[in-house]
Structure 1
């Protein structure tokens, strides 16, 4: 297998675009090569088989979505109140929504994971690790709420993102801000309504 990290990343980014646009059935080495604008056969030099490609796409999605340490540190500045949690949730929804193709590809991966045990294991471990990190970070930072608060925000906002990216007319764009604020307010009651 080839080891050029930049080429591998470009192929995985192309695979994300193919998954988002064509679905799992459309994800072939040839489609990835075409999307990446590389010679036919390039993807097959980097990935042992389709399962390997799918698994590495899962890794790449999280790699691209994970905030850098500076952004993470900046997000922890300011008061530890419901207003701050609300701003963090707005930022999260926007960051994920801005990577539309990545999130749609992740939904395709989740469906494929129902048929591919190795992919299911990867996604389960990754989602569990992210959720554990978010709970730990929330509690250590002194934000209001508890583990259940983080889990409920995760569940509610993930589905809001699914609606926003797959059926955008269910909740028009001008309602998303209010809905995120309302979710935080209902899950994390407290004095005052944040902006």
Structure 2
């Protein structure tokens, strides 16, 4: 049965992300996903119960694709837990998220759509909360300077920096972006250990 083909499902969800980023939530239809994925008409409707299911799975897939690889995690864990490492780590995170432009734009569309769809809002709230908690847990285990509040403040600041770069790329140069990341870490972490 086609519904059990995980590669096809992933390709359809990836196509949904592309459609969300390009057309917005209103443009996300099964037909648009089928076209984007270059599959026969009706394929997406065989894999997803309804549009809400597709929206939810697109959001989850963005987070899957944003996870750092094992090599990156190992390199980060081997680095000294000081403020300079923290700055480099944040530059890598901002760079990784920014490089998946359509993923971030799709998440913005999903967040807007969640203001009108309570079920989607519940799923996204749970997913984002889990992501924040995972980041705090990782940070606390790493020994990097700063506390849970610092992690949350940096998440908020860098989410908007990424949005700014993806929607209005002429506002900050890459050099300015990196300087802002360093300044944010310095100011938010403050007098914490180095």
TM-score (norm 1): 0.94
Find the counterpart in structure 2 of residue 45 from structure 1. 46
Alignment of structure 1 residues 181-192 onto 2, 5 Å: 181-190=182-191
Q: How far apart in 2 are the matches of 1:89 and 1:141? A: 14
Find the counterpart in structure 2 of residue 21 from structure 1. 22
Find the counterpart in structure 2 of residue 30 from structure 1. 31
Q: Give the 4+ runs in structure 1 shifted more than 4 A.
A: none
Indicate the SS of the match to 2:78.
coil
Indicate the SS of the match to 1:186.
helix
Alignment of structure 1 residues 149-188 onto 2, 5 Å: 149-188=150-189
Compute the displacement of 1:41 (Å): 0.7
Q: How far apart in 1 are the matches of 2:177 and 2:68? A: 22
- Supply the RMSD in Å over aligned alpha carbons: 1.6
Find the counterpart in structure 1 of residue 103 from structure 2. 102
TM-score (norm 2): 0.94
Compute the displacement of 1:119 (Å): 1.0
Compute the displacement of 1:173 (Å): 3.0
| Runs (5+) with no aligned partner, structure 1 | none
Indicate the SS of the match to 2:4.
coil
Query: Does the alignment pair 1:77 with 2:78?
Result: yes
Q: Is the 8 A contact 1:82 1:190 kept in 2?
A: no
Compute the displacement of 1:189 (Å): 2.5
Structure 1 residues 113-155: Cα deviation after superposition (integer angstroms, max 9, x where no partner): 1111111111111111111111111112211111111011111
Query: Does the alignment pair 1:92 with 2:93?
Result: yes
Indicate the SS of the match to 2:160.
helix
Compute the displacement of 1:47 (Å): 0.6
